[in-house]
Structure 1
């Protein structure tokens, strides 16, 4: 039995195959590194039962043949995937024919009582993958070996097909740091993004025409990070940071498939959540490493600050927006708002950004922190105490930022927004550790307040743009001030309700 440790990247542009091979070969021409290239054609048939019993056990079964007709059967059992880093135990055995022989595999890989003979009888070929693999075996000065594989081909099932165009880096022997070293070299020159889904996962989706095989993108709510109170503090960081990283990559993949401003906003929200985690756990993380990543987060978030304004303008100008009919009272105002929206980065520019070297480098730094952090170190306090202390801190800062008794004015709400956001981010990290009913009751008015201030910012943008007009439409001005007054009243109600509910963590 071997345990794969590999990084997978998907190639995001249409570079010609021979040019790609030349580029990779040139990149690997490094001092103190020896490279042995090779090439082979691999044909793989994946098997399961009609009811996908193996899939339900998180077991992958295939037979692979090379260009010489030599066959090998492989079982991969449950593993982990974080940010394109795949770790799965695998069992490889020679096989004489074109059909798996389950009895040849070790008995311990099967759940107790699993009827292996019945599984054998029910096996069917489900899909196949056929691809050319261009390999570079890279040996470093310390003896470590990493296999870099460029796979180009097809996944085929039910007369449908999907392209394979990816790079895998597998640690064959030695120090895993070299995986990151080679990855950094590749992302510096190639348009790539981490690949979370294996060829097998994509094959199952194609074979069963089942969108559920592709993980649904969760919304940015209290379920983003799910921690367990049995974890120690460092384990909880690794778990939460990994979950945020995986969600961010799902959102990026969704944006590359179908660009929407809302997805960029969610990506920025997850980036902010991850950066907030580095701050919450700073006493338990390597100082220089975490500070470097926080700086990188801040740089990317700065690059994405425009999306808030873009969403506000989209809400004000789209035909389905809440305020479009009112904005149409002034054609000059509508034209100016639409002009501002055109000044933001294009969809193509954002696709390039999300596959750029800088964005990939941030994800690689996050992954390195996850992989290298020693979670075995005991903590002086338990996770629940740690979480409660931070939740208390966030609430206290929020209470200092808002009035506990007097009514608040428009500017006070706007100025308190970032304090509210930070408190909510702490809740996203730790909320799942506590009872759902009390948590939801406590957070609901604060989340409503957050949404209300977002809406207030939309109206402020509209008012600011309106005031720049040479002629102010009186009807629109009156309506706008009425909307702001009504919203302030709603925010006052949210504030009073929020302050009356006891914290769920106490």
Structure 2
């Protein structure tokens, strides 16, 4: 079992090519000597086809389990991912992988996985079906930054099921070794030049969402909870509304986004609160000046991603 620590960034399709060019340029400018293992390099591009399995009533997803088979280069990999622990805008999940001979599930492998008690009798295994697919092209870079090794991937494709389709257009930064702070450090380096925003919605959640059309929000703290817990809540609520605004193509969701930022301002240090105030003022200008659609202006804002990353980095340092 490996623990996957990952920071996911939304990229709108019109900025995807620029993101790839940025990463290529970074590797070219920061390449080591030939055969130097610390050099920054672009890896082979992959075409990934993935089937996700669950019961018709979504029992695995309900228990925080994602079960898939991935086909890559004529090889099959069966993977289980768990919901893992909350890392405030980051994905920290348990992950188990096995090579299998075909695109047929081998459920005997799950004996290695500490399943929730409700799933341990395996009775649900008789009712498994492929509930959705994610098929995408993956561009891969190996980056060395701030004493860390980070795998950066750019995924472009779609998640699809009988209930519809949702595009995949994102960057994922996965820590391979070194300090966790380097994930935020390199993400902020990207965000200074490319409009990206933090995302907390996994591909499996996107697939499940096609059926239920339900946006998942964090659990609101009790009134007596510490102020830092409220900061975490309002930050993650901001992220969820932001992703939902583009998923639903509903610019009216800017209002609850601004409300979340207003609440967050009251839970963070003065300097950060002032930066959030400036971001909200930027939204106000965009709202008053937009002619036809507000979404393109919001998608192209560098300030949003930078502030999401600054806030998330601060929160993670306080909590961990």
The answer to whether the 8 Å contact 2:142/2:149 transfers is: yes
Identify the match of residue 179 of structure 1 among 173, 179, 183: 183
1:450-500: CA deviation from partner (whole Å, max 9, x where unpaired): xxxxxxxxxxxxxxxxxxxxxxxxxxxxxxxxxxxxxxxxxxxxxxxxxxx
Bigger RCO (CA 8 Å, 6+ sep): 2
CA distance in 2, matches of 1:304, 1:14: 21
Identify the match of residue 210 of structure 1 among 198, 212, 215: 212
The answer to whether the 8 Å contact 1:82/1:242 transfers is: no
Correspondence for 1:268: 258
Correspondence for 2:6: 6
CA distance in 1, matches of 2:255, 2:163: 38
The answer to whether the 8 Å contact 1:252/1:354 transfers is: no
What runs of 5+ residues in structure 1 fail to find an aligned partner? Answer: 219-223, 279-289, 311-342, 376-506
What runs of 5+ residues in structure 2 fail to find an aligned partner? Answer: 33-37
The answer to whether the 8 Å contact 2:42/2:140 transfers is: yes
Shift of the 190–347 alpha-carbon distance from structure 1 to 2, 3 Å rule, reads farther
Q: What is the Cα deviation at residue 115 of structure 1? A: 4.6
1:245 aligns with 2:235: yes
Q: What is the Cα deviation at residue 227 of structure 1? A: 3.2
Q: Radius of gyration: which is bigger? A: 1
Q: What is the Cα deviation at residue 15 of structure 1? A: 4.4
1:74-85 equivalences in 2 (<5 Å):
74-80=79-85, 84-85=89-90
Q: What is the SS of the residue equivalent to 2:40? A: strand
1:6-155 equivalences in 2 (<5 Å):
6-15=6-15, 17=17, 20-31=19-30, 34-38=39-43, 39-67=45-73, 69-80=74-85, 84-106=89-111, 109-112=114-117, 114-140=119-145, 142=147, 144-155=148-159
Identify the match of residue 279 of structure 2 among 300, 311, 314: 300
The answer to whether the 8 Å contact 1:83/1:194 transfers is: no
1:415-470: CA deviation from partner (whole Å, max 9, x where unpaired): xxxxxxxxxxxxxxxxxxxxxxxxxxxxxxxxxxxxxxxxxxxxxxxxxxxxxxxx
CA distance in 1, matches of 2:130, 2:150: 32
Correspondence for 1:361: 306
CA distance in 2, matches of 1:148, 1:118: 38
Shift of the 2–355 alpha-carbon distance from structure 1 to 2, 3 Å rule, reads farther
CA distance in 1, matches of 2:299, 2:230: 22
TM-score (norm 1): 0.56
Correspondence for 1:197: 201
Q: How many residues align?
A: 311
Q: What is the Cα deviation at residue 196 of structure 1? A: 2.0
Aligned-CA RMSD value: 2.9
The answer to whether the 8 Å contact 2:197/2:308 transfers is: no
CA distance in 2, matches of 1:347, 1:370: 36
CA distance in 2, matches of 1:306, 1:14: 22
CA distance in 2, matches of 1:228, 1:175: 34
1:314-353 equivalences in 2 (<5 Å):
344-346=289-291, 348=293, 351-353=296-298
Q: What is the Cα deviation at residue 276 of structure 1? A: 0.9
